[in-house]
Every structure is written in C-alpha cells, then in structure tokens.
Structure 1
Amino acid sequence: MGCGNNEHVSGHHDKNQRCVCDVVRAIKDIQDQAENNCGPCPTSCFLEPLGGLVSPSRNNADTRVFMLLTKDGDPFKAFFRDLTPRPHDNDCVSVFFRVEDIFDNCCATLRVLEPLDAQRHGVNLLNGDGTKIDFKQICKVRNFDLTGSCVTVDLNCFCGIECVADVFLDVCD
C-alpha cells in the first residue's frame, strides 16, 4: 500500500494508493507516444505532448524528469555511476529519474539521472557531512545527464511525484 496506509475503504483499496503508479504509467505513455493534450497546470505530470513541461516550444524532448516523494515528503534518492565521468566528479546520489519500464503490480525500472548545474557541472545533492539531501543544492540543478544506473521500485511505496522538466537526453529506445 502507498504511503504506509494499509486501511481499506468500504472493503476496497483506496484509489489514491495507486496515484503515483498511475502518474508514472502516464509519463511512460507520454514518452512513448507524445500525444497532444494540454492541461491547466504547466508542470502537471499528465501534460502532453512530451516537451511541453515548462518550455512548451521544446518538441525534441525524449524524457520527462521527475522526483518521487516518500511518506515523509522527502525526495527518494538513489546512487548512480556516470556513463562518462567528468574530471573531479565524485557525485553519486540523485533524486531525479526517468521511467524505463513498468511491470507487474506497479513496479518500475527507473534510470537515475545525474543532476547538473547551468554550466553542465555535476551538482552534489548531499549536505556537508554527506548524510542527507541538501534542498538548496536541488535548487541549483538546471540540466540532467543519463547515468549507467537503474533502480527497480514498488511505486505503491511513494506518496508523491513531482515532474521537473522535459529534456532531450538522446535515449536509445
């Protein structure tokens, strides 16, 4: 059950317990099909076509970048390895993802995306002692890069999802 909520409503599962799964499925469909249907919120995860999130003129996007939020409201984090290491680049934690696949009962394979600043330098998202995510560092992220790391998650374990940007990462499908 999502968000640590194991209660049933009138003998049925609460519809909201699958909302993160449904959103990630929608992102996958949008990435795959890129249909044209705009919603009222400019950063809605359901916004189509791909490329319309934040910069509606972008039509060559192949990835909708998103963050998952735990029941505490903290961003879910995962470790990564760079596909092409940069000099003096020792960052290895990210909160940004691209959906690669969804299967079974709301399980998903997510590619971990490397957070980059406006100059395309890696952004270390950890605080000074390396134990927690530093939210000020997240605000410095302006670009993303593919990594060689994927994580498989149960989408029912998350309480929120925030779509961040539509970008072109030259993903081979």
Structure 2
Amino acid sequence: MGCGRFEESTSTGVLGTTSGRCVCDVLRFIKDIQDQVTDNDCPACPTNCFLEPLGGLVSPVSTQFDTRVFMLITKDGTPFKAFFRDRDRCDHDCFSVFFRVEDIFDGCCATLRVLEPLDKHGHEVNLLTECGTALKLSKICEVRDFRSSSSCITVDLNCFCGIECIKDTYLGVCD
C-alpha cells in the first residue's frame, strides 16, 4: 500500500501500483477514538496506532485523553514537518513533526493540528539544526510532551508512507 509499493491483483495476477490508503485508514481510526474518549484495558503493544480507547498508548491509563499524537513518515523515510505559529515571538523554532487529526474528508485528505514539542520541563524543543534549515532528528528524543498550536495544515494522506503513533495525551483542544 502506498509509496509505489506493488501488489498482486486478485483478478488478473498482474502486479500494479495500489492507491496507498493505509495512512488514511489509520487516521480515520484515530479520529474515531478521539471522538469516543472511553476507557479500556492496556494492550500488549504500547504504540500500536489501532489501540482503543484513547489512553491506550499510556500505561497505566489513569487520566482523561483527547488526542493521539502521531508523526507522518515521508517516502524518503524522514518525518514530515510543518510550520506552526509559535507563542514565543523571540525565537524561530516553530516547526514540528507532531500532529493531531482534526478532520478527514474527500476520501484521503486530512486537516491536522500542528503540535508544539515540549521537553520534560515544559519548554519547547527546537527540532531544527543550528542553521535552521533541516530537522535534527536527535532532538526528537528530547520531546516528552506537547502543546496545542493554533496552526492547522491540510494534507493528502496518499503522499505518506508511514505513520507512527507517539503518545495519548490531553491537550484540551475543545476547552
């Protein structure tokens, strides 16, 4: 599925490209469980995007959650990044690889809220290199929490090869 992966056709036995709907299906599922916000037992695989209910990525489940944070992976294997409007007007570290699904429409398009990455002390994490031109992947490891931004992006989910669920959290998006 997706990224030009070839799959055998069941009717003809011929190889052909498929229309990568995997990421789209996962985000539909995440959107459904964000809308439900119910309790359930902890599953065996702690970062499976298909875990229900919201809170399943956290152990133990002891608080209320409204968001499943995820990253999208591009064709070259790197995390997709997006700009967000930063609350600090003095710095320029306003790119993130973390998202919350807000809506899915027209088959496989989605509106995603860009989430501000925070360290264990609640300070934002600059994910860019010193010159600010590329992602510094090692900085992703410093991220422990998230803050909702006011920035959203609309994407074609068929353009991504993978999705990695990171954490279930409460952002108070609808408060």
Please confirm whether the aligned pair reaches a TM-score higher than 0.5, indicating the same fold: yes
Q: Specify the TM-score bucket, using the shorter chain as the normaliser.
A: 0.7 to 0.9
Match for 1:44 among 48, 51, 54?
A: 48
Distance 1:124 1:40, change over 3 A: same
**Partner of 1:2 in structure 2?**
2
Match of 1:18 in 2: 21
Find the counterpart in structure 2 of residue 105 from structure 1.
107
CA–CA separation in structure 2 for the residues paired with 1:94 and 1:77: 5
Deviation at 1:127, TM superposition (A): 1.0
Q: CA RMSD in A?
A: 2.2
Please give the TM-score of this superposition, normalised by the length of structure 1. 0.88
Distance across 2 between alignment mates of 1:154 and 1:138 = 24
1:66–1:98 contact (8 Å) kept in structure 2: yes
Does the Cα contact within 8 Å between 1:118 and 1:141 map onto a contact in 2?
yes
Q: Which amino acid is 1:108 matched to?
A: A
State the shift of 1:88 in Å: 4.4
Q: Does residue 27 in structure 1 map to residue 30 in structure 2?
A: yes
Contact 1:68–1:75 (8 Å) recurs in 2: yes
Q: Could you tell me which residue of structure 1 aligns to residue 120 of structure 2?
A: 118
Assess if the C-alpha contact under 8 Å between 2:30 and 2:49 holds in 1: yes
* SS of corresponding position for 2:138: helix
1:34·1:48 contact (CA, 8 Å) conserved in 2?
no
Deviation at 1:54, TM superposition (A): 2.9
Amino acid at match of 1:30: I
Secondary structure, aligned partner of 2:117: strand
Q: Secondary structure at the match of 1:2?
A: coil
Match of 2:83 in 1: 79
Q: Quick check: 94-103 or 43-52, which moved more?
A: 43-52
TM-score after normalising by structure 2: 0.87
Contact 1:50 1:59 (8 Å CA) reproduced = no
Contact 2:51/2:57, CA 8 A, preserved across alignment: yes
Cα distance, 1:39 vs structure 2? 4.3
Report the Cα distance in structure 2 between the residues aligned to 1:140 and 1:6, rounded to whole angstroms.
33
The list of structure 1 runs, each at least 4 consecutive aligned residues, that deviate by more than 2 angstroms after superposition, is 6-15, 34-40, 86-90
Q: CA deviation at 1:6?
A: 7.6
Aligned length in residues: 169
- Give structure 1 stretches of 5+ with no counterpart: none
After TM superposition, the structure 1 stretch with the greater mean CA deviation from structure 2, 39-48 or 111-120, is: 39-48
Alignment check: 8 A CA contact 1:39 1:46 kept = no
Residue 160, structure 1, aligned to residue 162, structure 2? yes
- Give 1:64 shift: 0.4
SS of 1:144 mapped into structure 2:
strand
Gap runs ≥5 in structure 2? none
Q: Give yes or no for contact 1:43–1:163 (8 Å, CA) kept in 2.
A: yes
Give the CA deviation at 1:46.
0.8
| Larger CA Rg, structure 1 vs 2 | 2
